[in-house]
Amino acid sequence: MSKRIIGSTPKQDGYRMPAEFEAQDQVFMIWPERSDNWRNGGKPAQEAFSNVAAAINQFTPVTMLVSRAQYQNARYQLPEEIRVLEMSNNDSWVRDCGPTFIINDKGEIRANDWAFNAWGGLVDGLYFPWDQDDLVAQKVCELERVDSYRTSDFVLEGGSFHVDGEGTVLTTEMCLLSEGRNPHMSRVGIEDMLKSHLNVEKVLWLGDGIDPDETNGHVDDIACFVAPGEAACIYTEDTNSPFYEAAQDAYHRLSEMTDAKGRQLKIHKLCCPIKNVTIKGDFKIDSVEGTLPREDGDICIASYMNFLITNGGVIVPQYGDENDALALRQIQEMFPDKEIVGVNTVEIVYGGGNIHCITQQQPSA
């Protein structure tokens, strides 16, 4: 039902990726279960995912994708209003393995189905195999009867870029120029792919992200667009913060940037947690060769930036940190007309990501 479009690009066909703050029809998530990534058999993470799903569902219908093994449990754990569908997966990061939807001016919707290699493939990917994750985008397109552009020779994850919906894309060099993704392509070649498949004119490059080991520095932990001409960026003056250098660099680069429309970007600062969230030695995480080990004291990538904007709401990570309330206030100022909903996502950040990483919005066509 979902056609593979061959021989043209979204730009040629008049499709663009809308910004996250534009209208959405639904949000996809994938149920967590890998016991070599989620502690205690995934049970604490499943509870946290359920809370995130319920929060989103106040604003936008949620479809939860779940493996055969966990189907009945997920259906039972989740509120009845959440749609629960079977779909195989290798882990639960639908932002990165799911489709990137695009729309045109006639009210039609299509999608980009990027090649996915678990954040670096055999170079520095996080697990093997990733075959089922790489099918998620296609299966979602079949589900929703959406035609797609498959980029078999171009690896990209949804969490590695943000668009403003008006011709600008924001990304990081650390990720998009990494050895494990598209080493055969030049920076200009990569820019061309972003331009043709997201239908943008200008690529804004940040340097490093705060998550070099897992995602090679996805932008969605450090910055995003909050409105046309306005971006948010994590900010800390605490030189002891593990995120200090990347945050400072991102903030100063962003402050000097203009977007595709020629606007000087207005930058909103977003605080970081005061205390580190760390892996505890007593976590029960299965040992499996080839997956990233979790060790006592490892610092998790706890950023408030990894929120989801979804219609009238913004769903924001909370860590039980002193700065939780400040983060909510700062985000409320960025989105004066939206309801800001905090959800404790410590259990999700233990697994390597957060609310933005585990969600993928389907925009309204």
Query: Which residues are known to be catalytic?
Result: 357
Amino acid at 80: E
**C-alpha Rg value of the chain to the nearest Å:** 19
Amino acid at 197: H
Residues 6 or more apart whose Cβ sits within 8 Å of residue 231: 170, 223, 224, 225, 254, 265, 266, 267, 268
Q: Name which position in 17, 27, 45, 87 contacts a copy of itself (CB under 8 A).
A: 87
Q: Which range binds a copy of itself by CB under 8 A, 64-72, 107-115, 118-126, 154-162? A: 64-72
Within residues 176-215, the interface with a copy of itself by CB under 8 A covers none
Within residues 122-151, the interface with a copy of itself by CB under 8 A covers 132, 135, 138-139, 142-143, 145
What one-character-per-residue DSSP string does 257-326 give? -B-TT-PBPEEEEE---SSPPB--TT------TTSPP--TTPBP---TT--EEETTEEEEEE-S-TTHHH
Question: Based on the number of CB atoms within 10 Å of its own CB, is 35 exposed (0-12), middle (13-18) or buried (19 or more)?
Answer: middle
Q: How far is the CB of 79 from a copy of itself (least distance, A)?
A: 10
- Helix or strand or coil: residue 154? strand
Measured between alpha carbons, how far is 160 from 356 in angstroms, rounded to an integer?
Answer: 11
State which residue, 3 or 261, has the beta carbon closest to a copy of itself.
Answer: 3
Q: Are 181 and 189 in contact (CB under 8 A)?
A: no
Q: How far is the CB of 150 from a copy of itself (least distance, A)?
A: 12
Q: How far is the CB of 81 from a copy of itself (least distance, A)?
A: 7
Q: How far is the CB of 230 from a copy of itself (least distance, A)?
A: 35
State which residue, 2 or 241, has the beta carbon closest to a copy of itself.
Answer: 2
* Contact characters 265-294, a copy of itself, x per CB under 8 A: ------------------------------
Answer yes or no whether residue 88 interacts with a copy of itself by CB under 8 A.
Answer: yes
Residue ranges of the alpha helices (H) in the chain? 10-13, 43-57, 71-77, 94-97, 121-124, 131-144, 173-176, 187-198, 244-255, 324-334, 346-350
Residues 6 or more apart whose Cβ sits within 8 Å of residue 111: 99, 100, 101, 102, 137, 140, 141, 146, 147, 148, 149
Q: How far is the CB of 2 from a copy of itself (least distance, A)?
A: 8
Q: How far is the CB of 122 from a copy of itself (least distance, A)?
A: 21
State which residue, 4 or 280, has the beta carbon closest to a copy of itself.
Answer: 4
Within residues 66-85, the interface with a copy of itself by CB under 8 A covers 68, 71-72, 75, 80-85
Q: Are 310 and 340 in contact (CB under 8 A)?
A: no
State which residue, 149 or 243, has the beta carbon closest to a copy of itself.
Answer: 149
Size of the chain, expressed as the number of residues it contains: 365
State which residue, 76 or 287, has the beta carbon closest to a copy of itself.
Answer: 76
Q: Name which position in 22, 36, 86, 298 contacts a copy of itself (CB under 8 A).
A: 86
Within residues 32-51, the interface with a copy of itself by CB under 8 A covers none
Measured between alpha carbons, how far is 62 from 25 in angstroms, rounded to an integer?
Answer: 9
- Nearest in space to 208 (alpha carbons), one of 180, 168, 246, 240: 246
Q: How far is the CB of 100 from a copy of itself (least distance, A)?
A: 20
Structure tokens at 71: 């189907």
State which residue, 3 or 275, has the beta carbon closest to a copy of itself.
Answer: 3
Total binding residues for a copy of itself by CB under 8 A? 25
State which residue, 142 or 179, has the beta carbon closest to a copy of itself.
Answer: 142
Q: Which range binds a copy of itself by CB under 8 A, 63-71, 93-101, 174-182, 192-200? A: 63-71
Q: Are β-strands 202-206 and 161-163 bridged in parallel, bridged antiparallel, or unpaired?
A: unpaired
Site of interaction with a copy of itself (CB under 8 A):
1-3, 61, 63, 68, 71-72, 75, 80-88, 132, 135, 138-139, 142-143, 145
